[in-house]
Structure 1
Amino acid sequence: MGQRRCSSCSVLRHHYLSGEGQCAGCGRTLTLKKGYCRLCWQQAAHESKTAGELPRGATGVLESGEPLRYHQLFFDRMKLRRAESPARKYGTRRGAPPKPPPVPAARPPIRWIQPKLFETARDFSRFDESADIDLTNPWLSWAIYLAYQRGEARGWRRGVRFAVRRGLIITLSRHAAGDVVRWSELFPAMRARDLNAERVAVVLAEMGVLIDDRRPAFEGWLDSKLDELAPGIRHAVEAWLRTLHDGGPRSTPRDMASIYNYMNEVRPILLDWSARYDHLREITRDDIQAVLDGLHGSRRCNVLVALRQLFAFCRKTRLIFRDPVRNIKVGEHPYRIAQPLGQEEVEQAVEIATTPVARLVVVLAAIYAARTKAIRELRLDDVDLGNRRLTIAGKVRPIDALTHQVLLDWLHHRRTRWPDTANPHLITNQKSAMGIGPASTI
């Protein structure tokens, strides 16, 4: 898995910074603890326990000189707590006492900034967490406080807060007034330590020290789609796609899915025209008819709509003199009659819906005919259990007994699974629980 490690291996690696070496037990080159890798220590502890708790435990097994012939498979977090050692209690709470919140901090005052002679890229991946940490840095203190506030507002778990704090320590321990952090410098360091660069970048952006130098995905997609087109056709199509993406003086930006669909429909046609023509001005009505004659049904409708959009834009911006697609009718779309589900399909859907969220989605779709987007965008305020009312897509609907029970089951599961989440949406998952947006899929 590349440089990714489980939490136990990462802890071992940070505690024993002497580097990697050849394990005396298995012969592999790994991070060593007293000459042996972590798996050998785990196997020795397992053999000691199997033999009836030897006096010196795993150390006695390894010092016996007998080679370890195999390794028992251990999953991450299997051996974090022993059964015979109960957790300590602090008052009425299990586990260690919670750490106090960070001291409130604000942007450090800046009197003047020394201009730099030249800019150099920094390599945060070489940061030594055992020697280079400076918790007294005022910029770091401010960042930690901002991360704490965001975590409280978004319901971040303890592990997420620790990871963000660690990422901020790496990037801001040596930060000074006037310094900036580029995404190209941040991402490799976070990736090497298996930290989420996006959450660290959000805090840095709130501080105003982040420069996002990533190339937009739209630019890469645009280059790939415009490749092999004639220069004149490429220029017109690029202007059209950029206007769809960014909007214009009298047009709003379109959804990316619409832009992708438009270009995917017309690109094969544009490639064919690029082999014969140099510009869209040379396209005639006969060329359009020749393209449409070989298409039928929804495919013909989609291609014609995309071509009408393209040539209408070119005519409006005076890239062509005449619109060859004008007055070509799209025609009426033959909609099919919706057929009811059979009893077997209904029973299969009910059998598959074994989780609380799956049962809720099935009930909302079956009883209220709610679409996927409407279900994902449902908010907690839309559910009125006291008055048995549910607001879906702006319409108030009564809640029947089945839906009421399914909602209670899901809300109990949601409260138990993510007790600190600040997400206002009814349906949430592991990722959306740490934000305020709707779940991407259901």
Structure 2
Amino acid sequence: MDRDWSQVARLTAAELPSLTPESERIAREFTRVSRRQSRLIDPNPHGHKASLRALRIVLAWLGAAAPVSERDLQALATLDPNISGQRVIWFLAERGLLEPDPSRQIDRDAQTVRKIIDRFPVPMRDELRSWVQVLKGEGRREHPPLSSRRILVYVRIVRPVLEEWTTRTDTLRSITTEEFKDVLDARKPGAARAAHHALRSLFRGLKQERVIFRDPTRGVTLPGVVTLPASVPSDRLAVLMGQARTPLHRLLLGLVTIHAVTPTQAANVRLDDVDLTRGQLIIKHRYHRRTVYLDPLTAELLTDWLRERQQSWPTSTNPHLLVTSQTALDIAQPPVSDGLLQHVFEKIGIPARTLWQDRVLHEAQLTGDPVHLMRLFGIAAETAMKYVRAAHPERTGRPVTR
């Protein structure tokens, strides 16, 4: 049973029990570590004081003889804006003084899926949970399970459609084929194709589980149109690096524009995947590994970031190459968030996808060899052929659209 900290959180420092010598030593060590990590003579006043208050409360009330519960620190932090637990959680975990919260060990992507689903009306919420069970391979029929990240992608694609539908219904049983077609007609080709694929999965899963008796997506197809990727003007590419303000932003931009590494791939690169001596970076795809051979500029950007990372968070145990102040000290050791990745490219005004396309298209213009593109960028044969056709439309009689 969780402790009730509501009364304790109101106590002043003078009203709390005195710290034992061991508890006092831990508090001093926390202040010392905080100062070193912040690279300031005096730590951020509010951030450090709020964290130190949380640490002093739990040490004064519970002592240092046993590990401190992460749930206690989380509960304290919700009671007072002047109490913060995240730095304390990391500090205690590093020293074996924390009892982890089992609920935080759950996959973060799975947690996000659950939060999104919980926002919908009860009937639709239950239907979406049935679909997720199917995607996880736990339905009535045996299927290969999808990863939590892939499930999250599906849920995010269908979310805006379901939000539209909830304005007139609270269950997917009432959705008609005409409403499904309206969703596709209202979207651009790329978004329509993604919605078509995800919604077909949703309704097929519900039909399999006998939640619905009629699949409104059955028989609805989209025309097969080959869409050519757009190219970023070369003069605009020349100033992009100057618009990136931090070593992390510059490295991410360099990986995308020079090596066609997607932001998600970059976020999942681990420190063990970096070999500066050989000038190599390993990108792990779902079914294979891609070796990126670093050019001098990317190697310099990578070195600058590693130096910045070490100086900012010297004791971070997060295994990912890219970290932020939120993820570097998080005991769950997550990759950087999708929000940060998106923010980097919003600041320069060009989507990461456009920069990625420009890099692959430029290489296709130089070589015209799909096998070369597959090896260099780790892309599928169909994708490689698409870019070769885009770069050299005269070599094929297949019609394409711009």
Indicate whether the TM-score tops 0.5. Answer: yes
SS at match of 1:407: helix
Alpha carbons of structure 1 residues 345 and 296: separation in structure 2 relative to 1, 3 Å: closer
1:2-401 to 2 correspondences below 5 Å: 122-136=6-20, 144=26, 159=43, 164-175=51-62, 185-192=75-82, 195-200=83-88, 203=92, 207-208=98-99, 221-226=116-121, 234=124, 237-240=127-130, 243=133, 248-249=138-139, 250=142, 251-252=145-146, 253=148, 254-269=150-165, 271-272=167-168, 280=173, 285=177, 288=180, 297-332=189-224, 334-339=226-231, 341-353=232-244, 355-393=246-284, 394-401=289-296
What is the one-letter code of the residue matched to 2:242? E
In the alignment, the residues of structure 2 paired with residue 124 and residue 245 of structure 1 have an alpha-carbon distance, to the nearest angstrom, of: 45
Closer, same or farther: CA 429–288 of 1 in aligned 2, 3 Å? closer
Query: Which letter does structure 2 place at the counterpart of 1:169?
Result: R
Structure 2 counterpart of 1:125, which letter? A
1:438 aligns with 2:339: no
* Equivalent AA in structure 1 for residue 283 of structure 2: I
More helix by share: 2
1:45 corresponds in structure 2 to none
CA shift, 1:285, in A, is 4.6
TM-score (norm 1): 0.53
Distance 1:255 1:360 in 2: 29
* Partner of residue 404, structure 1: 299
User: How far apart are 1:290 and its partner, in Å?
Assistant: 6.3
Check conservation: 1:137, 1:175, Cα contact below 8 A: no
Match 1:425 to one of 294, 315, 320: 320
Local SS of the residue matching 2:120 = helix
Distance 2:322 2:186 in 1: 45
Q: Please give the alpha-carbon distance, in whole angstroms, between the structure 1 residues aligned to 2:299 and 2:293.
A: 10
What is the identity, as a one-letter code, of the residue corresponding to 1:385? L
Q: RMSD of the alignment, in Å?
A: 4.6
Give CA deviations for 1:343-378 in whole Å, capped at 9, x if unaligned.
320222133245444443343233322221232333
TM-fit CA distance, 1:170: 0.7
C-alpha change, 1:266 and 1:348, in structure 2 (3 Å) is same
Tell me if the contact between 1:123 and 1:189 (Cα under 8 Å) persists in the aligned partners.
Answer: no
Structure with bigger RCO (C-alpha 8 Å, 6+ apart): 2
The aligned residue for residue 382 of structure 2 is none
Unaligned runs of 5+ in 2: 105-110, 345-402
Q: Deviation of residue 315 (structure 1)?
A: 1.3
Cα offset, 1:262, TM superposition? 0.9
- SS of alignment partner, residue 133 of structure 1: coil
In 2 relative to 1, CA 430–318 (structure 1 residues): closer, same or farther, beyond 3 Å?
closer
Kindly tell me the number of residue pairs found equivalent between the two proteins. Answer: 305
Question: Secondary structure of 1:434's partner?
Answer: coil
Mapped partners of 2:221, 2:260: distance in 1: 33
- 3-state SS in 1 of match to 2:292: strand
Question: How many Å separate the matches in 2 of 1:381 and 1:184?
Answer: 32
Amino acid corresponding to residue 439 of structure 1 in structure 2: V
Separation in 2 of the partners of 1:238 and 1:285? Answer: 19
- Equivalent position SS for 1:370: coil
**Structure 1: tracts of 5 or more residues without a match:** 1-115
1:398 shift after superposition: 3.0
SS of the residue aligned with 1:392? strand
**Using a 3 Å threshold, how does the CA distance of structure 1 residues 327 and 376 change in structure 2: closer, same or farther?**
same
Cα distance change on mapping 1:257 and 1:172 into 2, 3 Å: farther
Structure number, greater radius of gyration:
1
Percent pairwise identity: 23
Q: The residue matched to 1:391 in structure 2 has which SS?
A: strand
**Structure 1 residues 295 and 353 mapped into 2: Cα distance closer, same or farther (>3 Å)?**
closer
Sort the Cα spacing of 1:336 and 1:317 in 2 relative to 1 into closer, same or farther, 3 A: same
